[in-house]
């Protein structure tokens, strides 16, 4: 299929673009296979350069022969295009509709994108499981890297290499995999250096209604406990949801078969509910005519902040079990690809200072989300505006980012990155020129050969100028465990995403610049003073030397 067939009108003059916070411009609108471009042809700049993949929904309106297209983007921005000529407008609208909903992976933009920057370090090779394991090996000898899943046959959503207890052989892993949802047998997620406790994750056990058990599964997870120690299983579902799962062949670990483990149920909602919540929240934020009462009641009714609180609470619990109780933890929900990953990754943010650096956070996203098989493509194909019926869409990763932002806001000096990094990740999970978030698992990405055919987002992010842009000027490295408050009073609406296109951030940006300026000026002075001190010390030694002579 050629893109040209889908573009009936590739170019219209005299189009007026209206967008948040920026002046209205008139220019020429061009449609290409992947972009919607508007240029006023002044200063050779494009005022609009929008990926079709970023378009979530459009609306058409006509007044006489003037057509208007409202473009609602996945990053929650809404722009308006006034197009002279009804036919042109209809053509543009129908092309956008088709181009923004192309399902075929082979037509996706990252496969066509050629970087305009020099790749210093190939992001596809920056965070290999082998390298991560080397760090682990330096701390403990109790774990090994298994290639039981090298051809993705044991678990289609796992990477080829996973860390498992040294004493457990591949055969046991295969049998345990058959007992876990999606073949997701318990694997290592995090090793807590301070006390040697670990966090593991998996899919739910397939106990079914008649209470099946699996000796190999029991053996596998018991192998992670120290002698005489008990562990915690954190099931991200409520007891009743977990009970209901039995009827569909799923279930949870019974006390009888797992006597060394204590099970705790939390209440993180399933993904379909999260999507609905996002839609309601965005709708509430976009209606500026609300009274205070109505705004607060719609905010409450969206339940978004409740999800944030629930996820953070579960992550704090996991972190507490490890750091304070000195116990190992297994986390799972149903599939083990959504709420499970929210909990394991946030617990690491709390426990491990390395995850709060720019590189470390990328490694965490790579390890706990991409390699761990979070189905990004399914979850992020629609955002809050789409009129299509949701299939598997859910803002699971966005909620994770929101939770990170909450912790960042509470500990503004403990993160090497600023919220810009989190916003950037949000944008790129929904629409991107990079291949990083394409596909639903390591296996899919490998079949598409993305590491050869596309550029990694990390290649872009890890260039010095981008690292500088994403850096937090307040950062001061510390090696502390940070315990966020999960009290509702402490959790705020993430303005940087949800009100980004609604209220101007100019004054807050100015404050940020001021902060950067204060810190940079301080550093400059420090350098100057240090230089002078050195010179002075040198002069003194010379002087002393002369006297001795």
Binding residues for another protein, rule: CB under 8 A, are: 285, 288, 290-297, 299-300, 303, 305-306, 308-309, 410-414, 474, 478, 480, 482-485, 487-493, 499, 502-504, 507-508, 510-511, 514-515, 518-519, 521-522, 525-526, 528-529, 532-533, 535-537, 539-540, 543
Report the alpha-carbon distance of residue 68 to residue 390 in Å, rounded.
26
> Looking at beta carbons only, is 240 or 478 nearer to another protein?
478
Report the alpha-carbon distance of residue 311 to residue 339 in Å, rounded.
8
Report the alpha-carbon distance of residue 25 to residue 284 in Å, rounded.
28
Beta strand 329-332 with 197-201: parallel, antiparallel or unpaired? Answer: parallel
CB of 337 to another protein, least distance (A): 25
> Looking at beta carbons only, is 18 or 502 nearer to another protein?
502
Instruction: Scan for tokens 């036919």, then name that residue.
Output: 87
> Looking at beta carbons only, is 449 or 504 nearer to another protein?
504
Report the alpha-carbon distance of residue 181 to residue 145 in Å, rounded.
22
CB of 397 to another protein, least distance (A): 21
> Looking at beta carbons only, is 400 or 458 nearer to another protein?
400
CB of 118 to another protein, least distance (A): 35
CB of 168 to another protein, least distance (A): 36
CB of 425 to another protein, least distance (A): 23
> Looking at beta carbons only, is 467 or 493 nearer to another protein?
493
CB of 474 to another protein, least distance (A): 6
> Looking at beta carbons only, is 286 or 451 nearer to another protein?
286
430 burial level (CB within 10 Å; 0-12, 13-18, 19+): buried
CB of 494 to another protein, least distance (A): 12
> Looking at beta carbons only, is 11 or 528 nearer to another protein?
528
CB of 199 to another protein, least distance (A): 20
Report the alpha-carbon distance of residue 181 to residue 107 in Å, rounded.
32
Q: Are 429 and 371 in contact (CB under 8 A)?
A: no
CB of 317 to another protein, least distance (A): 14
* Residues in the chain, total: 549
> Looking at beta carbons only, is 117 or 521 nearer to another protein?
521
> Looking at beta carbons only, is 447 or 523 nearer to another protein?
523
80 burial level (CB within 10 Å; 0-12, 13-18, 19+): middle
CB of 157 to another protein, least distance (A): 31
Report the alpha-carbon distance of residue 536 to residue 549 in Å, rounded.
20
Strand segments, DSSP code E, in 40-192 are 48-51, 55-63, 66-73, 78-84, 143-146, 162-165, 187-192
> Looking at beta carbons only, is 247 or 301 nearer to another protein?
301
Report the alpha-carbon distance of residue 212 to residue 218 in Å, rounded.
12
User: How many other β-carbons are positioned within 10 Å of the β-carbon of residue 520?
Assistant: 11
CB of 498 to another protein, least distance (A): 9
CB of 289 to another protein, least distance (A): 9
> Looking at beta carbons only, is 139 or 525 nearer to another protein?
525
Cα atoms in the Cβ-side hemisphere of radius 13 Å centred on 171: 0
Is the torsion defined by CA of 302, 306, 312, 318 positive or negative?
negative
For 263-313, the three-class secondary structure string (H helix, E strand, C coil) is EEECCCCCHHHHHHHHHHHHHHHHCCCCCHHHHHHHHHHHCHHHHHHHHHH
> Looking at beta carbons only, is 97 or 495 nearer to another protein?
495
SS3 call for 438: coil
> Looking at beta carbons only, is 411 or 460 nearer to another protein?
411
Report the alpha-carbon distance of residue 281 to residue 493 in Å, rounded.
10
CB of 248 to another protein, least distance (A): 29
Report the alpha-carbon distance of residue 282 to residue 271 in Å, rounded.
17
Q: Which two tokens stand for residue 38?
A: 């508007």
Strand order in the sheet with 231-235: 187-192, 197-201, 329-332, 231-235, 261-265
Helix ranges, 81-151 (H):
86-99, 129-139
Q: Which of 78, 86, 109 is nearest to 12 (CA)?
A: 86
């Amino acid at each position: 299929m050629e893109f040209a067939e889908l573009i009936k009108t590739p170019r219209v003059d005299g189009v007026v673009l209206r967008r948040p916070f920026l002046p209205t411009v008139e220019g020429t609108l061009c449609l290409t296979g992947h972009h919607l471009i508007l240029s006023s042809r002044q200063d050779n700049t494009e005022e609009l350069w929008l990926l079709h993949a970023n378009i979530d929904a459009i609306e058409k309106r006509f007044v006489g022969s003037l057509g208007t297209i409202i473009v609602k983007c996945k990053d929650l921005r809404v722009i308006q295009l006034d197009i002279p000529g009804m036919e042109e407008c209809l053509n543009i609208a129908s092309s956008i509709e088709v181009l923004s909903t192309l399902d075929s992976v082979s037509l996706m933009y990252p496969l066509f994108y050629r970087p305009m920057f020099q790749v210093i370090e190939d992001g596809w090779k920056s965070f290999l499981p082998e390298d991560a394991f080397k760090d682990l090996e330096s701390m403990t000898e109790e774990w090994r890297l298994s290639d039981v899943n090298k051809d993705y046959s044991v678990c289609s959503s796992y990477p080829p290499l996973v860390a498992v207890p040294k004493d457990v052989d591949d055969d046991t892993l295969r049998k345990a995999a058959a007992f876990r949802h999606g073949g997701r047998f318990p694997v290592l997620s995090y090793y807590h250096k301070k006390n040697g406790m670990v966090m593991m994750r998996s899919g739910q056990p397939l106990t079914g209604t008649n209470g099946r058990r699996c000796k190999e599964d029991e053996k596998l997870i018991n192998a992670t406990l120290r002698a005489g120690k008990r562990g915690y299983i954190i099931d991200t579902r409520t007891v009743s949801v977990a009970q209901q799962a039995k009827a569909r062949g799923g279930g949870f670990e019974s006390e009888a078969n797992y006597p060394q483990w204590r099970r705790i149920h939390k209440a993180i909602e399933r993904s379909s509910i999260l999507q609905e919540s996002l839609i309601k929240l965005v709708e509430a934020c976009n209606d500026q005519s609300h009274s205070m009462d109505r705004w607060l009641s719609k905010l409450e009714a969206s339940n978004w902040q409740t999800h944030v609180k629930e996820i953070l609470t579960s992550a704090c619990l996991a972190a507490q079990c490890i750091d304070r109780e000195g116990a190992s933890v297994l986390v799972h929900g149903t599939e083990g690809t959504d709420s499970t990953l929210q909990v394991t990754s946030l617990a690491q943010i709390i426990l491990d200072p390395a995850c709060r650096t720019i590189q470390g956070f990328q490694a965490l996203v790579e390890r706990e989300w991409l390699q761990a098989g979070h189905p990004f493509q399914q979850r992020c194909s629609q955002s809050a505006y789409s009129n299509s019926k949701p299939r598997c869409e859910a803002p699971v990763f966005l909620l994770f980012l929101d939770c990170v932002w909450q912790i960042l806001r509470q500990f503004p000096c403990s993160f090497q990155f600023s919220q810009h990094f989190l916003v950037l990740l949000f944008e790129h999970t929904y629409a991107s020129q990079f291949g990083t978030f394409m596909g639903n698992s390591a296996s899919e990405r490998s079949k598409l050969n993305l590491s050869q055919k596309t550029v990694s987002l990390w290649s872009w992010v890890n260039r010095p100028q981008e690292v500088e842009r994403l850096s937090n000027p307040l950062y001061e490295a510390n090696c502390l465990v940070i315990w966020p408050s999960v009290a509702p009073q402490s959790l705020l609406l993430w303005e940087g995403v949800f009100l980004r296109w609604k209220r101007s951030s100019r004054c807050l940006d100015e404050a940020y610049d001021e902060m950067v300026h204060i810190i940079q000026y301080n550093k400059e002075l420090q350098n100057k003073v240090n230089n002078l001190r050195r010179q002075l010390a040198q002069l003194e030694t010379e002087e002393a030397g002369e006297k001795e002579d």
